[in-house]
Amino acid sequence: MDAATTLALILLSVNFCLGVAAYTPTVGEDVRAAAIVDLLNDILEAAPQHGDFVILITDKCSLLDHVAEIAAPWGVGMFRKRGNTQDANATQAQLSWVVDQARKLRQVSWSVMVVVVSDDPVFFAAFARSSLEGRLLVWSTKLLVLTRLPLHRLQHIHNTLTMTNSMLLQFTYDPSLRVKIYTELPYSQPGTQPVTVATWSPGKGFAMKSSTPLYFDKFSRFSHRHRVVVSRVLTPSDTTVTFDDPDYPGEKKVISFNPRNNLMETVAANMNLSLKYVEPGDGQWGMMDSDGEWTGMIGMVYRQEADIALGLFTITPQRYEVADFTYPVDITYIGILAARGSPEVTLWGFLHPLTPVVWVGILVALGVYMAVILAPSCLPVELLNRTRLFTSASNCARVLLQQDVTEGSGWWWWERVVLGVWMLMTLVLARSYAGNLMSQLTIRYVSEPIQSLQDLVDNYFTLLLYKGTAQEQAFRGLKK
């Protein structure tokens, strides 16, 4: 991102905060805002991956005076909720719009750190819901939550903190502005004490409390064996075996012998996970129906009925809006095969070398030239020989048909000029026509009516597609 874009984003943040023109931060708030900026700069320097673009979402305008001091390598975008209302609906509406704009910044940035600063539980609840519905947080996004709220009042964002690459930074109420840095382990239950990673204070920096680094990969291997719900669709060619689930007595586990299932089982064994396989009721892979609802495996993931959908999915813009995809494990090119037409022989093949527009143009030009030559025939008989004019006009047709021209005595100079121009034009047309005709006689014309998906629909071909796939959605988007 260039300097102009960064400046535009900073000006955008100024625009958001101007909604409270009469607001003046207190000395304590200004000191805390400066401490927040110092903390962010230390985290950006200590984070293992540099090159972050920082998206700051807050309900505190005191940060505006210090936003330019954030040393983000690729710039800062600041969004602030207007007003100090505690109305949950108004807060939800504002944050939904903010998350939508922040998501656009995330999509055009290589690496993003989302920083949320607030002391309002309603604000955090609205952010947790909006970030889930608005697809702001993905696996590669780092999340920082800064607050003075106690841990038991942050239950609204517990799931967000556990299932994202996040850290919770809690300011203490002592004058030293000391900050406790926590991380929530994946699938931990609400009320569970988070892991204390470090503490931070202005001027002293970080004091690590464990061997856990900042932003460690907490999804590489889980400390407890958690159950992950995997959605899949079995095909008739899949061989399955059912046995008692060793992790959950009394339940059955169905294993399918195919590369995808084997890969999933290997990942689960290395990450200390247990798997529960479920199938969508409609047996589809997933597409958006006419009502705007998602079907199949994609729909189960979108509605959080399953954690993972197992299959070689086609990544489409519509699916990317509602689900995250792993790195492609296979790249497949799909083509449509259709029989070519037979070589065509037609009695009207001599007309094919020139398009209908050219043929019409030739006839119109012939009529114009003949009209120009015959125009003087309206003069008195004693001034000209009408028979000679009609002979001169017929010469235009004879030239077009490549026949000889009859020259009479007493031709006017303009008659010779008109006929000469017509001869030159017909010479070019004749050479072009002869060359194209020779090519068509040498290579027979073979029709290929299918050049796009729309051609398939227009020619009323019968298509057999798996229901609920990306291919079906592509054809449904066409119009007959």
- Looking at residue 402, its amino acid is Q
Question: Alpha-carbon distance 161 to 142, whole Å?
Answer: 11
Answer whether residue 84 shows pLDDT above 70: no
At residue 39, the pLDDT reads: 86
Answer whether residue 272 shows pLDDT above 70: yes
At residue 6, the pLDDT reads: 40
Tokens at 159, concatenated: 């799931």
410 in the Ramachandran plot: left (φ > 0), alpha (ψ -120 to 50) or beta? left
Question: Alpha-carbon distance 395 to 406, whole Å?
Answer: 7
User: Do 72 and 54 contact (CB within 8 A), yes or no?
Assistant: yes
Out of 3.40.190.10, 3.30.300.10, 2.60.40.3710, 3.40.50.12160, the CATH code matching 226-320 is: 3.40.190.10
Answer whether residue 48 shows pLDDT above 60: no
At residue 263, the pLDDT reads: 86
Answer whether residue 180 shows pLDDT above 60: yes
Per-residue pLDDT tens digits for 434-468 = 888 887 776 666 667 777 777 777 766 666 777 77
- ∠ CA 238-239-240 to the nearest 5 degrees? 110
Answer whether residue 298 shows pLDDT above 50: yes
Q: Which residues pair with 54 in a beta bridge?
A: 76, 113
Per-residue pLDDT tens digits for 193-247 = 888 888 888 888 888 877 777 777 788 888 788 888 999 888 777 778 888 877 7
At residue 376, the pLDDT reads: 65
Per-residue pLDDT tens digits for 89-110 = 888 888 888 888 888 888 888 8
Tokens at 72, concatenated: 């983000």
In 3D, which of 193, 285, 323 has the Cα closest to residue 474? 285
Most confident residue range from 64-68, 81-85, 186-190, 460-464:
186-190
Answer whether residue 15 shows pLDDT above 50: no
User: Do 214 and 47 contact (CB within 8 A), yes or no?
Assistant: yes
| Residue with the larger pLDDT of the pair 50 and 168 | 168
| Residue with the larger pLDDT of the pair 353 and 379 | 353
At residue 460, the pLDDT reads: 61
Answer whether residue 13 shows pLDDT above 70: no
User: Do 217 and 199 contact (CB within 8 A), yes or no?
Assistant: no
- Sign, CA dihedral 371-376-381-382, equals negative
Answer whether residue 160 shows pLDDT above 80: yes
The answer to whether the predicted template modeling score (pTM) of the entire model surpasses 0.85 is no
Of 53-67, 73-87, 123-137, the least confident:
73-87
Averaged pLDDT for residues 424-430: 84
* Tokens 């019409």, located at residue: 360
Averaged pLDDT for residues 305-313: 89
Answer whether residue 47 shows pLDDT above 70: no
Is residue 21 very low, low, confident or very high in pLDDT (cuts 50, 70, 90)?
very low
Q: Where are the domains of the chain?
A: 3-208, 226-320, 349-442
DSSP for 273-292, please give it.
EEEEEE--TT-----B-TTS
* Assigned CATH topology for domain 3-208: Rossmann fold (3.40.50)
Of 251-265, 280-294, 450-464, the least confident:
450-464
User: Do 79 and 136 contact (CB within 8 A), yes or no?
Assistant: no
At residue 231, the pLDDT reads: 92
Answer whether residue 343 shows pLDDT above 50: yes
Task: Name the helix (H) or strand (E) containing 242.
Answer: strand 240-244
